[in-house]
Amino acid sequence: MPYLARRTGQALIVLAIAFTATFVLLQALPGDAILIKFESPELGLSPEQIADIRASYGADVPAWQQFLHTISGFVVGDFGYSVQYGTPVHELIGTALPETLVLAGLGFVVAVVLAVALAFLSTLAPFGWLRQGLRALPGVFVSVPVFWLGIVLIQVFSFQLRLVPVIGADPVQGLILPVLTLAVPISAPLAQILARSIDEVQLSPFVAVVRAKGASPARVLWRDVARNATLPAITIAGVLIGELIGGAVVTETVFGRAGIGRLTEQAVANQDVAVLQAIVVLAALVFVVVNLAVDLVYPVLDPRLKRKAVAA
Amino acid sequence: MRRRLRGIRPGLVVAWTVIAVVIAWAIVPWLFTGQDPLAGVPAEKLQAPSGAHLFGTDAIGRDLFTRVVHGAVHSLSGAFVAVTVGLVGGTLLGVLAGSLGGAVDAVVMRLVDVLLAIPGLLLALSIIILLGFGTVNAAIAVGVGSVAAFARLSRSEVVRVRQADYVEAAFGSGARLHAVLFRHVLPNSLTAVVGLAALQFGTAILAISTLGFLGYGAPPPTPEWGLLIAEGRNYVATSWWLTVLPGLVVVAVVLSANRISHALGRTR
C-alpha cells in the first residue's frame, strides 16, 4: 500500500518538525524556566546550587544532547519534568486528561447535534425569513468570544434563572454550561458545511430522478440527501478537534475546572515549557492521526473515491 | 439576482458603519466621550447603564463606555499587527513555494502543515511564552497562527495564475521570474488575499481578546476589550453590564469584519 505508507510518512515528518520547532523555540532559549524559578535573589541560592539544579533537570548539557534526550523520551511517552510542580509531565497530563476528555467528548456530541439540527432546519423550515435567520446563525456563533459566551451563560442560567447552581453543583450539573460553551462555536463550521452540502446534493441529478420515480420527500431527505450530505463534514474533523483543545483552555479557565486546558493556561503563566511542549506535540499528534484516519476512511464511506483511487 | 441584492446591501452598510465607528473610536476617542478611561469616581461605582453612563460604571467608578471607546485602539492595532504578520509572512512563503516549486515548495508546505496541525490558541500560547506577555507580543502570536492560511491561499493563487496563457506568453517573450511575479502574478492574486485578510481581521480581534482575557495581553488598567470582560467577571452576579456590553461590542465588530470579507470574496 504505497498510498498509506506515503501518508503515514508525511504525518511522521509533520510531527518531527513540530517537535523540533517547539524544542528549538521553547527549550533551547536562554531565559529558561529553571533560571526564572531558582535564580531570584529571595531564594539565596549560590551559583553552584543552581548549576546542580540545572544538572538534575538535564539542562546543563549541550542543546543537541538535550534534543536527543528529549525526543527519545517523547517517543516512549516520557515528557520530562514540570519545573513548576517538580512532577513528571506525563503524570500531570494523565491526571488532567480524563476531565478534559469528558468535557470535550460531550461538547463534540452536543456540537454535532446542534449542527445537524441547524443545517436541516435551515433547509426545511417553513418560512423564508426563518430559513434565512437559521442560515445566519453559524456566522454569529463563530463571532462570539468563547470566554464571553461562558460568562453570559453563567449570568443567565445561574444568576438570573437560577437553573444551574454556581456553588455545590453536582458533577453533572457542573458540566451543563461548560459543555454548551464549548459546543456552540464548534457547531458553527460543521453546520455551515452541512447546509452547503445539503443544498448541493438536493440539486444533483440523482435526487431529481429519485423524486421523479415517486419517492416521498421524507425518503429523499433521509435516505438520499442526508447520507450524501454528511460525508464532506467528516473532512473537517481534524480542525474541529484542534478547536476543541483551544476551546477547552478557555472553557476550563472560565468555569474553574481542572483539565488539560487549565494545565496549559498555568504552564504559560509559569513559563513551564516542558508541560507546554508536551501538550503542543500531543495536540499535533491528535490532529495528524485524526486527519490520517479521515483520509483512510473516506474512500471506504464514499465508494466513488475508491474507484478513482484505484484508477489513479 | 435582485432578491440577493436587496437581501445583502443593508447588512453590508451596517457592517461598514460599525467598522468605521470603531476605527473612529481608535483614532479620536475624545470626540465620543469626555470622561477619563483610567481615573474613576469612587462615589459612582457599579452604576447600571443610564444617560450619564451609557454602559454603566465599573467597580472603581470608571465609565465603561469610555473604557470601551479607548480600548478600540488596542484591539484594532493588535488585529492590524496580527494580520500584517500573517499577510506578509504567509504571502512571502506561499509565493516562494508556488513560483519556485520543487524542493522549496515541499519544504514550505510541510512547514505550513505543521502550523496547521497545532491548534491556533496553543500556537499563540507557545509564541507568547517565548516572547513574553504584552499587546504587541499577543498580536504577533496571533499573526503567526494565520501565516498558514495566507501561505496556502497565495500559493494556490500563484499556481493558478502561472498557468494562465498571458503569463506563459510573458515568459515566452523573455521576462524573468521576478518580473512576471510582480507584474502579473501578484496583482492577479491580490483580491483573494484581501478577502482573506478581512476574514483574518475578525478572527484576530477574537483571538486577541481571548489572550487579553487570559491575562497574556495588555496589563491592567489598559482598557483592552478582553481584559475589560475579565475584570467584569467578578461582578457577574450583580453588574451584568460589565461583561455583557463590551462582549456585544466585540461580537458586533467581528460579525461586521466577517460580513465585509464575505462581500469582498463575492466580488472576485
Joined grid coordinates for residue B46? 457599579
Q: From B10, B11, B3, B60, select the one nearest B37 (Cα to Cα).
A: B60
Contacts with B254 from chain A: Cβ below 8 Å: 143
Predicted complex ipTM: 0.84
Joined grid coordinates for residue A195? 447546509
Q: What is the pLDDT of residues A77-121, one digit of tens each?
A: 777 777 777 788 888 888 888 888 889 999 999 999 999 888 888
Q: Which of A246, A267, A288 sits opposite B119 (nearest CB)?
A: A246
Same domain, A115 and A254: yes
Same domain, A252 and A135: yes
Q: Are B200 and B248 in contact (CB under 8 A)?
A: no
Contacts with A282 from chain B: Cβ below 8 Å: none
* Residue A36 pLDDT exceeds 90: no
Q: How far apart are CA A110 and CA A103, in angstroms?
A: 11
Q: Which of B120, B237, B244 sits opposite A246 (nearest CB)?
A: B120
* Residue B108 pLDDT exceeds 70: yes
Q: Do B121 and A287 touch (CB under 8 A)?
A: no
Q: Do B233 and A271 touch (CB under 8 A)?
A: no
Q: What is the pLDDT of residues A213-234, one digit of tens each?
A: 888 877 887 778 877 888 888 8
Residue A65, domain member (yes or no): yes
Mean per-residue pLDDT for B28-51?
72
Same domain, A180 and A279: no
Contacts with A246 from chain B: Cβ below 8 Å: 119-122
Which residue of chain A is at minimal alpha-carbon distance from B115? Answer: A18
Same domain, A188 and A298: no
Residue A90, domain member (yes or no): no
Same domain, A9 and A35: yes
pLDDT range class, residue A56, cuts 50, 70, 90: low
Most confident among A236-245, A251-260, B80-89, B173-182 (mean pLDDT): B80-89
Same domain, A247 and A258: yes
Same domain, A75 and A188: no
Higher pLDDT, B237 or B18: B18
Same domain, A279 and A309: yes
- Among A235, A254, A269, give the residue marking a domain's end: A269
Residue A91, domain member (yes or no): no
Q: What is the CA angle A98-A277-A265, rounded to 5?
A: 60
Q: What is the pLDDT of residues B183-235, one digit of tens each?
A: 777 787 777 888 888 888 988 999 999 998 888 887 888 888 888 888 888 88
Same domain, A249 and A296: no
Same domain, A182 and A167: yes
Give the distance from residue B186's alpha carbon to the nearest chain A alpha carbon, in angstroms. Answer: 29
Q: Are B247 and B64 in contact (CB under 8 A)?
A: no
Cα B91 to its chain centre, rounded Å, is: 17
Q: Are B236 and A155 in contact (CB under 8 A)?
A: yes
CATH topology of domain B82-268: MetI-like fold (1.10.3720)
Which residue of chain B is at minimal alpha-carbon distance from A160? Answer: B237
Same domain, A173 and A252: yes
Judged by DSSP in three states, A81 sits in: strand
Q: Where in the sequence is the domain holding A131, given as residue range(s)?
A: 103-269
pLDDT range class, residue B83, cuts 50, 70, 90: very high
Q: How many domains does chain A have?
A: 2
Same domain, A30 and A69: yes
B interface residues, A as partner, C-beta within 8 Å: 7, 110-111, 113-114, 116-123, 125-130, 202, 206, 209-210, 213-216, 226, 229-230, 233, 236-237, 240, 243-244, 247, 250-251, 254-255, 258-259
